[in-house]
Amino acid sequence: MNWLIAGLVLFLGAHSVRIFAPNWRAGVIARLGDGAWKGLYTLASLAGFALIIHGYGIARGGAPLYAAPPGLVHATFGLVFLAFILIVAAYWPANHIKHAVRDPMVAGVGLWAVGHLLVNATPAALALFGSFLVWAVVDFLSLRRRGSSPGAAPRAINTVLVVITGAVLAAVFAHWLHLWLIGVSPLASM
């Protein structure tokens, strides 16, 4: 579990600098430049992500701390499906979802974490998904305080394309990629 915790601290720590140390971040960018900051941020994020994958792979077994009712699998599918749409909306310009939510990436990560917490009850799963959920809530509130902008005026075609793309990516991930990348088929539990 130590590798998992180290990865979470590094990855979520890098993603939390703007929340907890904005002046320090601004000082580093002023000294080193924006490109160097982005490079360091990327390296820390990639190293943290690699440690999370490695650590979760080692620690993922173990006895569940609670038994999830079978119906929660369907709730997880719904939450993760919406998370895919929100994450696509974060990167697609001028869509109604981004305009309404303002921070769809963080909201998507939060839904993904909640969905996974509903059906994964091992200590490693609680550490992984619980950490991401806490980070998403804190970051969402921080972004609201900072007054993030929704960007360009939304267009209906962009919103339709976001929903279609998110749905297709969710289906591809559920049917093939989750088993290939994670080693577990989410469809097997249905």
Here the tokens at position 26 are 């601004």
Indicate the range of 28-42, 52-66, 86-100, 174-188 predicted with least confidence: 174-188
- Residue with the bigger pLDDT between 39 and 61: it is 39
- What is the rounded average pLDDT of the residues 61-85? 90
Total-model pTM: 0.90
Domain boundaries, the chain: 1-59, 64-190
pLDDT digits (tens, 9 = 90+) for 19-40: 999 999 999 999 999 999 999 9
pLDDT at residue 104 tops 80: yes
Sequence-distant (6+) residues with CB within 8 A of 55 are 1, 2, 3, 4, 5, 6, 7, 124
pLDDT at residue 91 tops 80: yes
Burial class of residue 27 in the structure, from the number of CB atoms within 10 Å of its CB (0-12 exposed, 13-18 middle, 19+ buried): exposed
The pLDDT confidence band at residue 190, using thresholds 50, 70 and 90, is low
- What is the rounded average pLDDT of the residues 120-139? 96
The pLDDT confidence band at residue 148, using thresholds 50, 70 and 90, is low
